[in-house]
């Protein structure tokens, strides 16, 4: 089994319905994502998942010097940011890609699939 990070990419700017057009769309996407999450649990693929607060809530820390330097905002200023992610444990890439397609449909965003090189 291999661990894969499934990241959902969406717009950095969010309004009151997150990255969704309306309240209904947002609720539908949340419900569909919930169903997908249940399926990951039931099939044994689930490791961890979560939605992230807006990138504007991020702080970058550089601890390489004598005293850590903090700066407001995400590491990269981009229009598209990671909105949430899953970590799954799947037998191979075909399974991971299938699950990513289901997750993408559920949460209504593009999903990047990236294998872990190893786990601590």
Partner 1 sequence: MMQGEKAAVERVFREEYGRLIASLARRFGDIDIAEEAAGEALVAALERWPASGVPANPGGWLTTTAANRAIDRLRRENQRDAKHQAAFMDHDDTPHEPTGPVEDDRLRLLFTCCHPSLAPQARIALTLRLLGGLTVPEIAQAFLVPETTMAQRITRAKKKIASAKVPYRVPEAADLPERLGGVLTVLFLVFNEGYLATGDGDPVRAELTGEAIRLTRILRRLLPAEPEVAGLLGLLVLTEARREARVRNGQLVPIDEQDRAGWDRALIDEGHDLVRECLAINRPGRYQILAAINAVHTDAPAAPDTDWSQVVALYDQLTRLDPSPIVALNRAVAVAELDGPKVALALVDRLPLTGYHPWHATRAELLRRLGRSVEAKEAYDAAIAATQNSAECAYLSRKRGELV
The binder of partner 1 chosen from 68, 94, 119, 120 (CB under 8 A): 94
* SS3 at position 11: strand
Closer residue to partner 1 in complex, CB, 1/61: 1
Residue 10 exposure: Cα atoms within 13 Å on the Cβ side: 21
The binder of partner 1 chosen from 77, 117, 119, 120 (CB under 8 A): 117
- Could you tell me if 7 and 96 are in contact, meaning their C-beta atoms sit under 8 angstroms apart? no
Closer residue to partner 1 in complex, CB, 35/93: 93
Listing DSSP states for 87-115 in one string gives EEEESSHHHHHHHHHHHHHHHTSEEEEEE
Q: Which span (21-29, 47-55, 60-68, 92-100) binds partner 1, by CB under 8 A?
A: 92-100
Q: Which residues bind partner 1 (CB under 8 A)?
A: 2, 4, 91-94, 96-97, 113-115, 117
């Amino acid at each position: 089994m291999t661990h894969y990070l499934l990241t959902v990419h969406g717009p950095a700017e969010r309004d009151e319905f997150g990255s969704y057009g309306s309240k209904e769309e947002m609720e539908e996407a949340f419900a569909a994502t919930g169903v997908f999450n249940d399926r990951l649990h039931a099939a044994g693929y689930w490791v961890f998942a979560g939605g992230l607060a807006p990138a504007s809530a991020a702080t970058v820390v550089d601890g390489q010097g004598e005293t850590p330097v903090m700066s407001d905002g995400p590491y990269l200023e981009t229009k598209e940011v990671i909105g949430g992610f899953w970590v799954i444990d799947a037998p191979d890439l075909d399974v991971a890609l299938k699950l990513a397609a289901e997750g993408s449909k559920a949460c209504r965003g593009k999903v990047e699939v990236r294998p872990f090189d190893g786990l601590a």
